[in-house]
Structure 1
């Protein structure tokens, strides 16, 4: 008995030692990537369905104040926000509030249809699979509402990009808040002030894939209509509270989130911003909180019910019906992984889990549009992927 106990203790210590050694190795590699990059700060995690096996922050959440970026630093995650929308749609269907294969005009207070295919209804599922034929127009950029004017830092940038950045800053500084319903109606209803047939694809709904942020916003708006609650309140009740994601949500002047990172665009700090809509982006979280969410989805993928039924998870993350389609319920699904990535002013983000080993990988960076920032984030992701198989637990 004593020999068996000794063996068990030895195995536990050995396993712990391997994990600690892997942690040191990956930390060293990530520090090397950070030191040669232009990223200001980032956080990472490797996780499984039960726990985080590695997590750490690097660099600064505020470079000017030398405030470190930690796993509790809160920042927007851009289009990864759509993964919560996928869960929300499945939950709404479970609650019998909507049916994914119903036409969106069953629920909307105004009509949206592709003018080239007036008799072909657009369904909620087509919104979620990016096959709706709804396109993002230039007017989509009206969605960003900055709390203060963006400084004219473009004057310090290379001449070949100064003009484009100047125009972007001018557009963002002139954006005005409006309701999500008006923002959608103005673009896609024939009475809208920005409406044009060019806001729709030449292909019929359901026949071709084209990524659409506004499709996501329409889906979130439908959840509001059928639930009688704001989209943010619906997610709070059905996702954030059950998973105890207490540091997450949507930032606004009336709801400032704590421990928020400064965002760096072209290497310069920019003011806080929010969105007119909520479905396609703008969700704010940290490594610790989002790991809870991704672990829950991995559990669902393994057949375990949590915030939605196991059958809903199975439907949500099954392979797309067509090789030409790339998404199912707003989740990117390929032969190896399931998840999403994102990019917004001052934000680059990745969150995926591997089908084979059920390991999740998260990277949140508070910088964008700097030299080689995308390449650096991909290097970080590949480093995490390399080590993800080497943790015992």
Structure 2
């Protein structure tokens, strides 16, 4: 028996060692293939990750967080992640409902301290659920871009580009207004920025992606819970998941780890913040975001930590049909505008997640519900040409190529 036991243990150790060796070889090959794309000099710095519901299978930073000082972009480098932030707004809404503070089918007027209604349909109530599935009829107008972005105070602006395009302007930090004031100016009947803030479609009928609608949903969480959105999400999402490097403001994070942002590999942009920060201003690292995506996969399978099984079921439930779309994306499987749960999107082939883009920021986070494997990319450099597009999806496809080879 002792001899047989020794043989069995030795066999298990050999299989384990062989498996670990193959796993490391796969990781090394994955890193080499992505490095080859990085050498094309399309992006200054970025990080990627592959996760499943057990945790992170692979994560790696590439390039530089600051090309002038050659500061490396690592797994713990932080930056804003644009509209991938919306997925946290959805979780926050579900948590507020779980705590009895809101009901997603309530009209928004129940929680607001100012009036919001579509002037084309004054008798139609807008609900929280319509905000969460982008059918509220609230749309982004020109002031979203021109009055939303503000420079971080006390930064060196030497050789920094101070506008992203003709419409997207970085305003002086001392002109920044509150979230409430921005929403009132944009959505109230006599608000000074209320110009084309509502569509000609009735609430609840047509999908129209809305950053302002997302921000209004976060503001409702504040009014309903009596907490700032930052504190509510910190207590109910970030702390339980140990996302210690993340937050919504520069004050919430270790700014020394923040990446510089670039319009192109040679064009530096300033550090900035958004008045409507819930729709795109979440600051995180690939390490922290991997924890969040792993939790979402668990939640999809009924094993989540931060929401109940019922809340996750509602969070992910696809709410729309073909009749809710004027134009539906059936080309890109990683476009979240084919269907939507509660601020989380579905690609036409069933991938679940979100994309994001802001000045100097590109991000993508999706998982496959068939395999329970997810991928993340966070980049500090924009692109606007075919070479950039090919590099972006080239990296994404390499992650998919290796993801099944990284499962222990």
TM-score calculated relative to the size of structure 2: 0.89
1:181 corresponds in structure 2 to 180
2:341 corresponds in structure 1 to 328
Q: Map of 1:364-375 to 2, 5 A cutoff?
A: 364-369=378-383, 371=385, 372-375=387-390
Q: 1:144 pairs with 140, 149, 154, which one?
A: 149
Q: Does 1:343 align with 2:347?
A: no
Answer yes or no: is the 8 Å Cα contact 2:170–2:272 preserved in 1: no
Structure 2 counterpart SS, 1:361: strand
Distance 1:388 1:381 in 2: 11
Q: Could you say what the CA RMSD is over the residues aligned between the two structures, in angstroms?
A: 2.0
Q: How many residues align?
A: 383
CA offset digits 1:113-157 (Å, max 9, x no partner): 1111111111111101011111000100111111258667679xx
Cα distance 1:35–1:291, how it changes in 2: closer, same or farther (>3 A)? same
Cα distance 1:248–1:227, how it changes in 2: closer, same or farther (>3 A)? same
Q: Map of 1:241-252 to 2, 5 A cutoff?
A: 241-252=239-250
Distance 2:253 2:404 in 1: 39
Q: Does 1:15 align with 2:19?
A: yes
Structure 2 counterpart SS, 1:16: helix
Distance 1:310 1:254 in 2: 30
Answer yes or no: is the 8 Å Cα contact 2:161–2:268 preserved in 1: no
2:328 corresponds in structure 1 to none
Structure 2 counterpart SS, 1:43: strand
Answer yes or no: is the 8 Å Cα contact 1:265–1:369 preserved in 2: yes
Answer yes or no: is the 8 Å Cα contact 2:79–2:258 preserved in 1: yes
Could you tell me how far 1:318 is from its partner in structure 2? 2.0
CA offset digits 1:150-173 (Å, max 9, x no partner): 667679xxxxxxxx956357x323
TM-score calculated relative to the size of structure 1: 0.92
CA offset digits 1:70-115 (Å, max 9, x no partner): 1010111010000111110000000000000111111111111111
Cα distance 1:143–1:375, how it changes in 2: closer, same or farther (>3 A)? farther
Answer yes or no: is the 8 Å Cα contact 2:246–2:252 preserved in 1: no
- Structure 2 gap ranges (5+): 326-337
Q: Map of 1:27-106 to 2, 5 A cutoff?
A: 27-106=31-110
Distance 1:153 1:237 in 2: 36
Distance 1:124 1:248 in 2: 26
CA offset digits 1:259-289 (Å, max 9, x no partner): 1111111332222111112220111100111
1:160 corresponds in structure 2 to none
- Structure 1 gap ranges (5+): 156-163
Distance 2:253 2:56 in 1: 28
Could you tell me how far 1:193 is from its partner in structure 2? 0.6
